[in-house]
Structure 1
Amino acid sequence: MILVTGSTGNVGREVVQRLAGKNIPVRALSRNQPESRKNGTVEWVKGNFNDADSLSRAMLGVDKVVLISPAHPDMVEHQTAVIDAAKAAGVKHIVKLSGLGAGADAPIQLPRLHYEIELKILASGIAHTFVRPNLFMQVLLGSAGSISTDGAIYAPAGDGAISFTDVNDIADVIVCALTQPGHEESIYEITGPAALTYEQVAETIGKALNKPVNYIAVSPEDARDSMLSSGMDKWLVTAFLELFSIYRAGYGAAALSDTIKQVTGHTANNFSAFAESHKSFFNELNEA
């Protein structure tokens, strides 16, 4: 049995679907799901990172865990609770969704937190696989509204290039690590095949939609005000702005897509293909 935390998020949802498609028993943990619901080989269970008992129940009969949780000021505590429950239950392998550049000396907070969690997994003695992707291509779906209304993408990215990574490729790497031998004690840093500026991203989406789409660079200060006024959590706003500060400085441009092919056997998805495959999403908003 494989337990997937964060099972309704971008990556977790895709991992659950892929495991179910292989008829592999999977338990999907979510704080918003009913206490128990069975769907094919997928068992949905309700659980909370702050409820040790719910995590212990979720671990019954589990031998592998996919460790995913949202960026959050308590993410170290949340994921440590899962690690502790996994160790107590005798779990054999944890595949953790981490972040590109995770390390003690990372220039911003989020990859340092991921690294702190990685160290806790190492200390647990449980076999590990750390999957460290760059920024998801799917974050651009959050700009669908402004693309529809203004023909524009707004971001504090400057002219920094980013090797965006498709969530589908991330999920494929995780599933391979779970279902194929030889991925234990491994770290996979993965990206898309090319680094693109937001201007290039806007142009690519425009070509897919057959309409002009422009990139409007906004200042970090204006981005902060906009996110806070929308109700976004202050800690998350700070983490977001930190992330884009290193992208503006050129730290997001490394292209490490060969790892995806080495693990999965297929090439990494490129941004043009992503934009084409999401045309209907953008067009639905445009027609609404």
Structure 2
Amino acid sequence: MKITVTGSLGHIGRTLTEILMEKGAELKVISSNPERKKSIEEFGATAAIGSLEDVGFLVENFKGAAAVFTMVPPNNYFDPNLDLIAYYKRLGENYAKAISEANVKHVVNLSTIGGHLEEGNGILKGAYYVEETLNKLPSGISITHIRPTSFYYNLYGYMETIKSDGAIYANYGNSPIPWVSPEDIAQAVAEELTRLNSGRKIRYVASEELTGDQTAEILGKAIGRPELKWQLISDEAVTDRLKAIGMNPGIAEGLTELYAGLRTGLLAEDYQKNKPQPMGKVKLKDFAKEFARIYHNN
């Protein structure tokens, strides 16, 4: 089965590549980094090196694929000139054009929790626009939107204050946070790519639900700091902290709105109606071992 995936060998891509190769897929992995070519080929996959901004490149590498995995790669939140929503819109349109021109019939798209919202989801609005753009493709093209929840690895962003203050400062966490591991996302994506469903589908992926206090307790135990606290602060304080470390002001405000949506329940309203069962296999205590290694080696 011929499959083309975007996302290179990132957090999701590496595990996804491993799973698909084990399933016997004839796999092509798209990457913008020429240095990834050797690593991709070591998996037994074909490396396609080029830019997602190049529709012609996408068409060439989508042609002949029974299924395609699309995702918008992370960008530099500290770039003062980055218009993140425009970036999402542009790549969403590129994917739609390439899927149509390459006559792809099965698409699995990486979206996000909150992807159903046009407002109130901060920077996740970009994923909403990608979903909307792909959904305008002809009905004969099957599309599954994968909506993962809060990534465990986002917790690395709190490393500095964990070390300095023994605290995680956030404007959410008073209610359960639906966390997810990239490994569980990769498993779900692989299942959908090889299942070849018809029609349109939404699939949420989550690994474990924990409050901020429970999250801090598990991380604190793993790093040898049982006093670690999850400290709730205001939206304004979160925005100010993000801007102070040099983040693009618009993105800082968008992240704050995203997290506020977790606090109010707005972001997870559709997730709560369509909660995945069972949850993923990778729990926070598993991720905490990796977190601890990095914490003690930095």
| Same fold (TM > 0.5) | yes
Specify the code of the residue in structure 1 equivalent to 2:58: L
In structure 2, the CA distance between the partners of 1:190 and 1:36, relative to structure 1 (3 Å rule), is closer
Deviates more, 1:66-75 or 1:181-190: 181-190
Helix, strand or coil at the partner of 1:283: helix
Deviates more, 1:104-113 or 1:36-45: 104-113
Specify the code of the residue in structure 2 equivalent to 1:102: G
Helix, strand or coil at the partner of 1:10: coil
Contact 2:105-2:142 at 8 Å conserved across structures: yes
1:161 aligns with 2:173: no
Taking the aligned partners of 1:274 and 1:35, their CA distance within structure 2 comes to 29
Contact 1:63-1:90 at 8 Å conserved across structures: no
Following TM superposition, by how much is the alpha carbon of 1:260 offset from its aligned partner in structure 2, in angstroms? Answer: 4.7
Taking the aligned partners of 2:199 and 2:190, their CA distance within structure 1 comes to 13
Note the residue ranges of structure 1 that are not aligned, 5 or more in a row: 262-266
State the match for 2:69 in structure 1: 66
Contact 2:124-2:258 at 8 Å conserved across structures: no
Taking the aligned partners of 2:182 and 2:17, their CA distance within structure 1 comes to 13
- CA RMSD between the two structures: 2.8
1:276 aligns with 2:286: yes
Taking the aligned partners of 1:61 and 1:34, their CA distance within structure 2 comes to 25
Contact 1:160-1:252 at 8 Å conserved across structures: no
Identity %: 26
Taking the aligned partners of 1:202 and 1:39, their CA distance within structure 2 comes to 38
Taking the aligned partners of 1:188 and 1:141, their CA distance within structure 2 comes to 26
In structure 2, the CA distance between the partners of 1:161 and 1:282, relative to structure 1 (3 Å rule), is same
Helix, strand or coil at the partner of 2:180: coil
Taking the aligned partners of 1:49 and 1:269, their CA distance within structure 2 comes to 32
Taking the aligned partners of 2:120 and 2:272, their CA distance within structure 1 comes to 19
Following TM superposition, by how much is the alpha carbon of 1:67 offset from its aligned partner in structure 2, in angstroms? Answer: 0.9
Specify the code of the residue in structure 2 equivalent to 1:281: F
Contact 1:169-1:260 at 8 Å conserved across structures: no
Specify the code of the residue in structure 2 equivalent to 1:80: E
Contact 2:113-2:204 at 8 Å conserved across structures: yes
Contact 2:114-2:267 at 8 Å conserved across structures: no
Taking the aligned partners of 1:184 and 1:173, their CA distance within structure 2 comes to 17
Contact 2:18-2:43 at 8 Å conserved across structures: no
Following TM superposition, by how much is the alpha carbon of 1:36 offset from its aligned partner in structure 2, in angstroms? Answer: 5.2
TM-score (normalizing by structure 1): 0.83
State the match for 2:18 in structure 1: 17
Q: How many residues align?
A: 280
State the match for 1:135 in structure 2: 150
Taking the aligned partners of 2:175 and 2:262, their CA distance within structure 1 comes to 5
State the match for 1:2 in structure 2: 3
- Structure 1 runs (4+) greater than 6 angstroms displaced: none
In structure 2, the CA distance between the partners of 1:18 and 1:238, relative to structure 1 (3 Å rule), is farther
Specify the code of the residue in structure 2 equivalent to 1:226: R
State the match for 2:81 in structure 1: none
In structure 2, the CA distance between the partners of 1:208 and 1:246, relative to structure 1 (3 Å rule), is same
Residue of 219, 227, 235 corresponding to 1:205 = 219
